[in-house]
Amino acid sequence: MNRLYVYIKALLSALFIFLIVTSAIAQPKKFGHINVHDFSSYDSKYDSSASAIVLFVKGNVEFDSDYNCILEYHKRIKILNDDGFKYGDIEIPEFKDLDQDVYSIKATTYTLLENGRIEETKLGRRDIFDTEVRDDLVLKKFTMPRLSPGVIIEYSYKKKLGSPFNLRNWKFHDYIPVQWSEIDMIIPNSLSYQMIFKGKDSLFIKNIEKRAGVVNNVRTQRFQLAKKELPPVEDLPYLINRDDHLSELFMQLKTVRIPGMNPRNYFKSWENIARELNDRGDFGKQKPDGAIRDKVEELVSNEMTELQKVESIYNYMVNHFKWNRFYRLVTEKGIRDTFRDKGGSTGDLNFLLIEMLREAGVKANPGLLSTRDNGTVMTEYPLVTQFNMLVAVVEIGNGAFIVDVSSGDRSIRFPHPEILYRNAFVIREDDSYGWLTTVPIDNTYRRMSMEYSLADSSRISMTIQSNLKGAYSEQIRQEVKSLNFNSYWENEFSELPGLEVDSSDFENLENLSENVSYQTSFSFDKDESLSLDQDVIYFQPFLLKKLEENPFKKPDRQFPIEFPFPSSEQLMVRVEIPEGYVIEEVPETKQIMLPNGGGYYRFMSSISDSVLTFVSTTNIAAVYYPTEEYSAIKELFQAKVDATNATVVLKKEGSE
């Protein structure tokens, strides 16, 4: 009996401790229900690593008798320091064309006083402002009152979202830590949604009740989904799109079965989407007219290979057409008006390109993709709303590649980085479809040599030569386009005192199929520390091409490292040392290898007569590196910082 009593007592104690630990997480409470414990109900580690923390955020979704979707939003945040004040600036969008309305706004700031009392400061109605962004969009804006480190802010509102199509997605993560995030939806059985989950974090609560109530004499279901203790998802260096790493719930309306109306199905398969788009006049029904056919006949010949035909038509469009900066999946003008106006959206330009290529006998089809800024496409879910851009997909032999007129002055062999390594949904004329990952045909490298002498008493004369391929070629084409050659270097090295550009020459800026190369010579005033009357001279040989700081500063990282493209860079520096000086100290050779053949950094130095030579080589062999390799990537870049900022010591002969 005593043993049983001891066992039960221990079990109850353990249960009590579990409940205390669990309750420490700030789960949703009613607005205004706050106590002293709430000011410390978070992990204290965030006090030094975050500017604020979301104690909880909850959304309640219901439908009114007209099947309008109503969201009630409630959020509570602890402000940890001055940088967290920005989370007290609130903006709530209202889209007028969707018949949206925001109302019942409440907001309060809570301050814990020294005597343990909680002081409340409420937002006044006059402190809420409407800002019209455009005709169809108004922002409800307000700033939480009495912001200071340590306060808790809380706000809530109701928002009429509009029709069932407008049920918004729910993002569980934030830029700051989130202790609790919950969405609670009561949906009539007459509305059926496809729920799509994105993210690696598991749900803490997943509760589905079949009979949660009645709307319009129709039974409802309740869906309660919650996650807890979520780390912040920040805009980190070499994280292409933070939204790709959020835990998120997508809601896509599938079917509507309202009593007295015929059932409607809105959820399509990829086959349905391909067929329906091909049937649209602004997508699959575009045909060239005589003017377009005449231009194609002028640009291509029977003697050309298919690739040469593609390059000829593409180069013509790049040089004569202008992108209006709008991403579109269809052509708004039609290809005939686009040809006449010499400009348009991605849909206009690339549909014209597709039809001109087809007219030339090249197999080309439209491809839908999502740019890096727009996020990664989930191919398992047939949602055309995931895409934001149309491109041309060219098939030659057994290969296929993407061409995009809106990318500007760049080779077809290396598309704009914004559309690299994305899944393109390719729609063929016979309504079949496929997927193509956009990869560059060319690799990317930069070979550069920099030569100069310290022998002159007052100035440094320098020569730089470089050969560029892939992304580096395309980058410098864009930069030099609007400047003359000398002006480019005057702009590039504007911080150099007394800069004088003696000569500058670029090759293949206009020839998009070839690598860009350049050579320039210039001089500038010597720094006083390099004066030849010094017994000891200290200088950093890489001068203009140093990596100033490591982009990877955090001690650890919870998200992968994503480079825009694989690349290789070699920089050689040759320095002539002045007569009468000897080399006292040079940086050491070093090498850092990434795991799994992921790349390397090498630094070497050599001495020949009065010339010092340094070679810095960086190789990034992949675009994606898992979190486990963060420390190795960080070490590689730190080695490059150390090497390119290292100091050489010269000593005058005979000096002590």
* Residue-level pLDDT at 49: 84
- Return d(Cα 167, Cα 251) in angstroms, integer: 7
In the chain the domains, ranked by start, together with CATH numbers, are 15-256 (2.60.40.3140), 271-437 (3.10.620.30), 445-652 (2.60.120.1130)
- Return d(Cα 597, Cα 469) in angstroms, integer: 22
pLDDT band for position 4 (50/70/90)?
Answer: very low
* Residue-level pLDDT at 23: 43
Closest CA to 457 of 359, 516, 533: 533
Structure-model confidence comparison of residues 486 and 71, the more confident one: 71
Question: Percent of the chain beyond pLDDT 70?
Answer: 94
- Return d(Cα 460, Cα 493) in angstroms, integer: 14
Is the Cβ–Cβ distance between 204 and 183 less than 8 Å? no
CB crowding 601-634: b at 16 or more within 10 Å, else e: bbbbbeeeebebbbbbbbbbebbebeeebbebbb
Question: What is the rounded average pLDDT of the residues 403-414?
Answer: 88
Find tokens 């080589």 and name the residue. Answer: 617
pLDDT digits (tens, 9 = 90+) for 294-332: 999 999 999 999 999 999 999 999 999 999 999 999 999
- Return d(Cα 656, Cα 101) in angstroms, integer: 81
**Which is it for the CA torsion 143, 131, 166, 201, positive or negative?**
negative
Strand bridging mode 178-188 / 52-63 = parallel
pLDDT of residue 136 exceeding 90, the answer is: no
C-alpha of 468 from chain center = 25
Is the Cβ–Cβ distance between 376 and 241 less than 8 Å? yes
pLDDT of residue 19 exceeding 50, the answer is: no
Question: What is the rounded average pLDDT of the residues 334-343?
Answer: 96
Is the Cβ–Cβ distance between 238 and 563 less than 8 Å? yes
Question: What is the rounded average pLDDT of the residues 127-131?
Answer: 94
Is the Cβ–Cβ distance between 619 and 585 less than 8 Å? no
Give the containing element (helix H, strand E) for 553: none
* Residue-level pLDDT at 7: 46
* Residue-level pLDDT at 307: 94
| 377 token code pair | 């496409």
In this prediction the pTM is 0.82
- Which residues 6+ apart lie within 8 Å of 325 measured at CB? none
pLDDT digits (tens, 9 = 90+) for 605-624: 998 888 999 999 999 999 99
* Residue-level pLDDT at 243: 87
* Residue-level pLDDT at 389: 96
Is the Cβ–Cβ distance between 311 and 403 less than 8 Å? no
Question: Percent of the chain beyond pLDDT 90?
Answer: 66
pLDDT of residue 215 exceeding 80, the answer is: no
Give the bridge partners for 335, in sequence order. Answer: none
* Residue-level pLDDT at 487: 83
**Number of C-beta neighbours around residue 62 at 10 A:** 20
Length of the chain: 656
Question: What is the rounded average pLDDT of the residues 408-432?
Answer: 91
* Residue-level pLDDT at 513: 82
- Return d(Cα 190, Cα 69) in angstroms, integer: 13
Give the bridge partners for 602, in sequence order. Answer: 591, 617
**Summary mean pLDDT of the chain:** 90
Question: What is the rounded average pLDDT of the residues 60-82?
Answer: 95
Is the Cβ–Cβ distance between 58 and 123 less than 8 Å? no
- Return d(Cα 103, Cα 128) in angstroms, integer: 11
- Return d(Cα 511, Cα 516) in angstroms, integer: 9
Is the Cβ–Cβ distance between 191 and 68 less than 8 Å? no
* Residue-level pLDDT at 499: 93
pLDDT of residue 596 exceeding 70, the answer is: yes
Q: What is the DSSP string of 39-96?
A: GG-S-TTHHHH-SEEEEEEEEEEEE-TT--EEEEEEEEEEE-SGGGGGGGEEEEEEEG
pLDDT band for position 8 (50/70/90)?
Answer: very low
pLDDT band for position 17 (50/70/90)?
Answer: very low
* Residue-level pLDDT at 655: 67
* Residue-level pLDDT at 2: 52
Question: What is the rounded average pLDDT of the residues 160-179?
Answer: 92
pLDDT of residue 587 exceeding 80, the answer is: yes
